[in-house]
Every structure is written in C-alpha cells, then in structure tokens.
Amino acid sequence: MLDNSAQPGITSAKTPSKNGKSVQKRNRPPSKGALILVAPFVVVMALVGVLPAIYALVESFASPTGNGFTAILNYVTVITNFRFLASFANVGLLLVVWLPMMIIGVVGMALLVDATRGRFGRLMMFIYYIPGALAGMTNFMLWLLLIDPGVSPVNFLLRALGATSLDGILASSSNVIWILAAMLFFEGAGSWILIVYGGLNSISDEVLDAAKIDGCSTWTTIWHVKLPLIKPWIGYLALMNFAYGFQIFLEPQVLNEVAQGLISPQWSPNQLSYTYAYSVGNTGAAAALSIILLVITLAIAMVVVTRTGILEQS
Amino acid sequence: MESPEVAHTLNNQKETIQPETVKGSSYRAGNHGHLGPVFRVVVMIAIGVAFVYPIIGLLVAPTRTQANMALGGIAFGTLANVKYAWSQVMGFDNGIYLEWFKNTVIMVGGGTLLAIAISIPSGYAMARLQFPKRQALLFLTLLLMVMPNTVLVIPLFLEVSTVHLLNSLWPVVIIFGFYPFGVYLSYIHYRTALPMELIEAARVDGLTELAIFFRIAVPLSRQVVALVGFFSFVAGWTNFFLPYVLLPQTQQSPLAVGLLQMISSSQLINPEEGLNVKLYMPELALASIVTMLPVLLVFIGAQRYLQRGAMIGAIKE
C-alpha cells in the first residue's frame, strides 16, 4: 500500500499558504546552481509525468486508421460502449460501500488511538498499521485465502453465511463489491489512521482543556471539538481515496482470473482502458478513456492541493 | 514521570499528560464508571485481532497441507511442509520465480536509486533556492503526487510502445525513478530540518550554491534519503499495473505480476491443470510471503528513520 496515500502524515499541520511572497523577497536572485539541481527532476517529470498525458490527448483525437484527426469519434466509441457505463457503475457502487467504511473506520480507529496514549495506544497503532504493509498481490493472496471456503481460516464464518465454494461466493456481484471493498480497506486503513491521528495530534491541548473545563463529555468533545478541527484531514482522506478507488485495477483484474469468467474482465474503467489498449488494440479508444479518467483525477487532485490545505505549499 | 521514554515517542508533546487524559476520560464517563475506558480497550483489541488473525492465517499456511487447511482455523503445521511448498514454487516453470525476483530487484533497486538521486537535489532547490517558475514546479509536483499513479499507466503504455520499448526493463526503472512524493519529502525536510544559518554561513564563506548543496546539505540528508528510499522501494516493489502493462513477457515480469501467473496456473483455480508441480494454497501463500521479505528487510533497516520521519510533523514553524 504505502503508495501516495501514506504521504501527508509527515507534513506539518498548519499551512501558511499565502506567505509565499514575503519569503521570496528575502531570498536571493535565481542561481544557476538551482537550475542544475532541479533539471533531472524536470526532465523525468516531462518524460514520464507530462508527455504521456499529452501524447494520450493527441492520440485520443487521432483517427483509428492512422491518418488525420477525427475529433471526438474515439470518445463516442468509448462512451457508447455498453461496458463504459457498467464499469463506472461498478466502481461507483464500490465507492458507495468502501468510502464510508474507510472514513468511519479510519476516523474511528484514529480517535480510539488518540484517546489511548501511552504504550498500549502505540502498540495498537502499530498493529493497525501492519496490514498496510501487505500491499497489492500479497494482500490479494491473503483475501483469496480468507474467502475460499476450502482453505479459509475463517471458514466457520463463511459457512455461517452459507458459502460453500469460492465460485459460489464470486458468482454474486454484490459479494464481489464487498470483497473488493474489504481488500481496499484492509490495505489502506493503516497508513490513513496514521495520517488522521497526526491531525488529531495537532489539536492543541488548550482547546481540549477548555472543552473539559466547559464540562464536555467524551462524546461531545469528539463531536463538537475534535471532528470539526480535523475536517481538512477527513476531506483529504475522502478525496484521495475516491481518486484511488475509482482507478482500481489490480484487484478486479486478478479476481477475474480467479473467478474464471464470473466477473467481467472490464469490471473497472481502467480494465476497460487496458482491454482497448491490449486485447482490442484500439489505441485511440484507450487514449480517449484514459483522458476521461485523467480529467476526473486531475480535478480531484486540484481540489486536494488547493482546497484541503493539508499539503504545504510555500 | 517517564521522561526518558517520552523522548522516543512520536508525539512527545502530549505523551507526558497521558495519566490525566486516561483518568479524565473515565471520570467524564460519569455514571458509566470505568465502563468507558474498558469498552474502548476491548474494542481496540477486537479490531487488532481482526487485523492480525488473517495475517497469521497467511503466515502459517505454508506450514500446513492443502488438506489440513480445509479444517480451517489457524494451526502451525510442520517445517517439512514449508520445504515441500518451496520446492514446488521453485519447480514452477523451471524456477522462473528467481528470475522474477531478479527482475524486481533490478527494476525497483534502479528505480529507488534514481528516485533518491532526483528527489534530494530538486527538493533542496525548491526549498532553499530561488529560480524561475519555482512555485509552478512545486504546484505541479503536488498535483502529480496526489494523483494515483494508475491514471498514467495506459498513457505510458502508449508512449513506450510507440518507441518500441515494451518488454525492456529500463523504461520501468525511469518511471519508478519519477517519484513526486520523494521530492515533496525532501522539500519538507530541507525547509524544516536544515538550519538556514548553516546555508547563510556557507554563502558568506563564498561557497557556490552547488558546493553548499553537496558539502553541507547532502551530509545532513541521511534521514530523508532513508525516507525517500523506503517509500519509493515499497511503491515500486508492490506496483502491479505498470509492469503488468509494460512487460507483457513472463520472462521480464516482476514478482507481483509473476504471482498472478502462479494463481492462474494453480490447481486451486484449475483442478485439471497439467502442471509439473503442485500449486495449492500453501505454495501460493509461501510465494507471496517470500515476495514481501525484501520489503520487511527494508522496513527494519529504515525503521529508526521512519520513526523520526513521523516527527517531522511535530516541527512546526
């Protein structure tokens, strides 16, 4: 897991956003040294971060036959594909299940850890973090183990729910949603607990003391003091995970291999994009779909960077 | 109070008031008496068990046989079973597992070194030096950092296949070397942990900006190098989508993609699969556990830096 989501736990809590100008004035004139130091990053960013996006944009307007431009034909091809809406509906449902799980679960666990300082709290924090270390395929393997009634360490639970075979479980599309949500939660929760905990930790003791003096109960303090103060972190959590969840690829792709046809190979938009690029070889359509995903993601990223105030910009 | 220990905790400001906090909350629970804290501890332990139980289940799987696993629960089998499972993993496709391991080390090792080499100087320059479009570059870095990297995989595929570099490892190394979060980490590090006075003094001594970076900033960068190295290593090691798309040939696969191959060849999925080895849950579990061992090693190696890294948040200016 430890991908981008692990990030801003390490950043400073307060965000002095508008003081960039005064800092600049104190600094010295541009130095050649600075340009040399940033040059490798700028080159790689152009090559790997910007150029592919521009190239995909150009390709998305290119004609499938390879000569000339066809305006929005590729976009029409993609959007009118019956799998397009279905894939968005799938990730939409997944987000409806998973995001509340993530927000309530992560904030709840962070509050629990925050209320329990000392060695026990630290130990539990560490334990909650462990599953986050099993990212990607290992996390998938763990869930494959859990949901296969033939080998599961929780087979008593599966039996109680009436499941007898892996195929039987995967045949139900709502089961698939819950399984994917559980996979994402299990590998994502740990590092986000750390981030939200960082937010709770930034609440000053004076504020909490004042609440105590005013006679706030534990619940009132949580509801009326702590949660409003960590709103930016909750917003950040929601937006980042929204962007992450609707990009899902690995889990449904591998689950499709396991399920042998029980799940659509184009379950998520990214899988559809992959199919266009690989199996169908329709570069224009693949490019068009990836541009659609890119625009949505970029919009979310803009909001995260400019609105949540979590990330420090000088 | 327990001051020596306090110094080592992540959240040292609040640690000292711990006894009051605990007492206070039980007191505030009022008519519930001590039920509040007890309830909280029980809930926390229950969640902890729910988190750890499946992991233990995965860890002990290779010690059991497929038949034994059908009994469910968690039980430790024998080490002989682990040995057998390993021989099956190694036997799969003439030991291709080791090939995948080597590929992963090359890709992720190269990518991590590149990420460090790129992030440290650019983060320093953005934090401490002035140059045109600095703000714009910082904004773009943040933007690319918060975007899930999956969104660029298909565009990268289109780019890489156009220049006929599919199935070659080095484009993946370069892509792994592009790590905006590492740049951001370095940026935060040099803004908060490097005293401006040091730089000013060096300037007074007539050092050039490059000399200041290499002779003053770099020697004080162990912490941030460890952080960038750790996070980019884990991100690369567990990345699936990018190598899955850019390296379609099994011979070039990293472990993450190789595991998928093992799953889909497994008799667990295809009982009638004509394999020369037996790939059931114990074997698959072992293959995925061994896959994560390097991450564990890197985690242990970087741990003291990670703890201190989490403290960067405490340094607020």
Nearest residue in A to B59, CA atom: A142
Take residue B299 and report the two structure tokens written for it: 């985690």
ipTM confidence score = 0.86
Residue A266 lies inside a defined structural domain of this protein: yes
Residues of chain B with Cβ-Cβ distance to A135 below 8 Å are: 234, 238
Position B181 scores a pLDDT of: 94
Q: Does B154 sit within 8 Å of A290, measured CB to CB?
A: yes
Average the pLDDT over A246-266 and give the result.
92
Residues B128 and B204 in one domain: yes
- How many domains does chain A fold into? 1
Nearest residue in A to B307, CA atom: A10
Residues B222 and B295 in one domain: yes
Pick B142's closest partner by Cβ from A56, A240, A311. Answer: A311
- The model's pLDDT over A72-115, given as tens digits with 9 standing for 90+, comes to 888 998 999 999 999 999 999 999 999 999 999 999 999 999 99
Residue A162 lies inside a defined structural domain of this protein: yes
Residues of chain A with Cβ-Cβ distance to B196 below 8 Å are: none
Q: Does A145 sit within 8 Å of B57, measured CB to CB?
A: yes
Position B213 scores a pLDDT of: 94
Q: Does B51 sit within 8 Å of A12, measured CB to CB?
A: no
Residues B133 and B269 in one domain: yes
Q: Does B235 sit within 8 Å of A247, measured CB to CB?
A: no
Domain residue limits at B69: 3-77
Residues B33 and B161 in one domain: no
Residue B82 lies inside a defined structural domain of this protein: no
Within its chain, how far is the Cα of B77 from the centroid?
30
Residues of chain B with Cβ-Cβ distance to A116 below 8 Å are: 22, 40-41, 44
Q: Report yes or no: A73 and A287 within 8 Å, Cβ to Cβ.
A: no
Residues of chain A with Cβ-Cβ distance to B263 below 8 Å are: 141, 144, 254, 257-258
Q: Does B245 sit within 8 Å of A278, measured CB to CB?
A: yes
Residue A66 lies inside a defined structural domain of this protein: no
Residues B130 and B60 in one domain: no
Residue B88 lies inside a defined structural domain of this protein: no
Residues of chain A with Cβ-Cβ distance to B108 below 8 Å are: none
Residue A50 lies inside a defined structural domain of this protein: no
Average pLDDT, chain A: 86
Q: Report yes or no: A237 and A255 within 8 Å, Cβ to Cβ.
A: no
Position B317 scores a pLDDT of: 26
Residues B113 and B236 in one domain: yes
Position A89 scores a pLDDT of: 96
Tens digit of pLDDT per residue, chain B (317 long)? Answer: 333 332 333 333 333 333 334 444 433 333 444 567 889 999 999 999 999 999 999 999 999 999 999 998 999 999 999 999 999 999 999 999 999 999 999 999 999 999 999 999 999 999 999 899 999 999 999 999 999 989 999 999 999 999 999 999 999 999 999 999 999 999 999 998 888 888 889 999 999 999 999 999 999 898 899 999 999 999 999 999 999 999 999 999 999 999 999 998 998 888 776 788 899 999 999 999 999 999 999 988 888 887 665 544 333 32
- Residue B165: CB atoms within 10 Å: 14
State yes or no: pLDDT of A69 exceeds 80: no
Residues of chain A with Cβ-Cβ distance to B155 below 8 Å are: 52-53, 55-56, 287, 290, 294
State yes or no: pLDDT of A224 exceeds 80: yes
Residue A285 lies inside a defined structural domain of this protein: yes
The Cα of B86 is separated from the nearest Cα of chain A by a number of Å equal to 16
Residue A216 lies inside a defined structural domain of this protein: yes
Number of H helices, E strands in chain A: 17, 0
Q: Report yes or no: A140 and A251 within 8 Å, Cβ to Cβ.
A: yes
Mutation test of the interface with chain A: which of B44, B104, B270, B306, choosing the one with the most A Cβ atoms within 10 A?
Answer: B44
DSSP string spanning B260-297?
HHHHHHSTTT-TT---SS---HHHHHHHHHHHHHHHHH
DSSP string spanning B81-144?
HHHHHHHHHHHTTTTHHHHHHHHHHHHHHHHHHHHHHHHHHHHHHHHH---TTHHHHHHHHHHH
Residue A19 lies inside a defined structural domain of this protein: no
Residues B189 and B72 in one domain: no
Q: Does B18 sit within 8 Å of A120, measured CB to CB?
A: no
Q: Is residue A279 helix, strand or coil?
A: helix
Mutation test of the interface with chain A: which of B28, B158, B292, choosing the one with the most A Cβ atoms within 10 A?
Answer: B158
The Cα of A48 is separated from the nearest Cα of chain B by a number of Å equal to 6
Nearest residue in A to B290, CA atom: A138
Residues 6+ away with beta carbon under 8 Å from A281: none
Please give the Cα distance from B145 to A8 (Å, whole number).
11
The Cα of A59 is separated from the nearest Cα of chain B by a number of Å equal to 9
Q: Does A136 sit within 8 Å of B159, measured CB to CB?
A: no
- How many domains does chain B fold into? 2
B310 close to A (CB below 8 A): yes
Closest listed residue to residue B119, CA positions, set B242, B232, B243, B237 = B232
Nearest residue in A to B145, CA atom: A4
Considering only residues 60 to 99 of chain A, which have any Cβ-Cβ distance to chain B shorter than 8 Å?
A: none
Residue A46 lies inside a defined structural domain of this protein: no
Residues B108 and B164 in one domain: yes
CATH code for the domain of A145:
1.10.3720.10
Closest listed residue to residue B210, CA positions, set A303, A37, A63 = A37
B107 close to A (CB below 8 A): no
Mutation test of the interface with chain B: which of A1, A5, A10, choosing the one with the most B Cβ atoms within 10 A?
Answer: A10
The Cα of B88 is separated from the nearest Cα of chain A by a number of Å equal to 17
Q: Does B178 sit within 8 Å of A37, measured CB to CB?
A: no
Q: Does B41 sit within 8 Å of A120, measured CB to CB?
A: yes
Angle CA(A136)–CA(A137)–CA(A143) in degrees, nearest 5? 95
When mean pLDDT is compared across A92-96, A135-139, A177-181, the lowest value belongs to A135-139
Residue B85 lies inside a defined structural domain of this protein: no
Q: Does A30 sit within 8 Å of B154, measured CB to CB?
A: no
Residue B61 lies inside a defined structural domain of this protein: yes
Position B268 scores a pLDDT of: 84
Residue B45 lies inside a defined structural domain of this protein: yes
**Residue A69, strand partner residues:** A62
Q: Does A144 sit within 8 Å of B263, measured CB to CB?
A: yes
Average the pLDDT over A127-137 and give the result.
87
The single residue listed with the structure tokens 């994560």 is B292
Average the pLDDT over A227-231 and give the result.
92
Please give the Cα distance from A246 to A241 (Å, whole number).
8
Position B28 scores a pLDDT of: 39
Position B308 scores a pLDDT of: 62
Residues B127 and B275 in one domain: yes
Residue B71 lies inside a defined structural domain of this protein: yes
Nearest residue in A to B248, CA atom: A278
Q: Does A120 sit within 8 Å of B245, measured CB to CB?
A: no
State yes or no: pLDDT of A68 exceeds 70: no
Q: Does B289 sit within 8 Å of A130, measured CB to CB?
A: no
Residues B24 and B52 in one domain: yes
Domain residue limits at A161: 80-307
Residues B102 and B31 in one domain: no
Position A67 scores a pLDDT of: 61
Residue B91 lies inside a defined structural domain of this protein: no
Residues B153 and B205 in one domain: yes
Pick A4's closest partner by Cβ from B53, B58, B181. Answer: B181
Mutation test of the interface with chain A: which of B150, B227, B297, choosing the one with the most A Cβ atoms within 10 A?
Answer: B150
Residue B227 lies inside a defined structural domain of this protein: yes
DSSP A43: H
Position A31 scores a pLDDT of: 74
Quickly state the pLDDT bin for A62 (edges 50, 70, 90). Answer: confident
HEC states along B173-231?
HHHHHCCHHHHHHHHHHHHHCCCHHHHHHHHHCCCCHHHHHHHHHHHHCHHHHHHHHHH
B239 close to A (CB below 8 A): yes
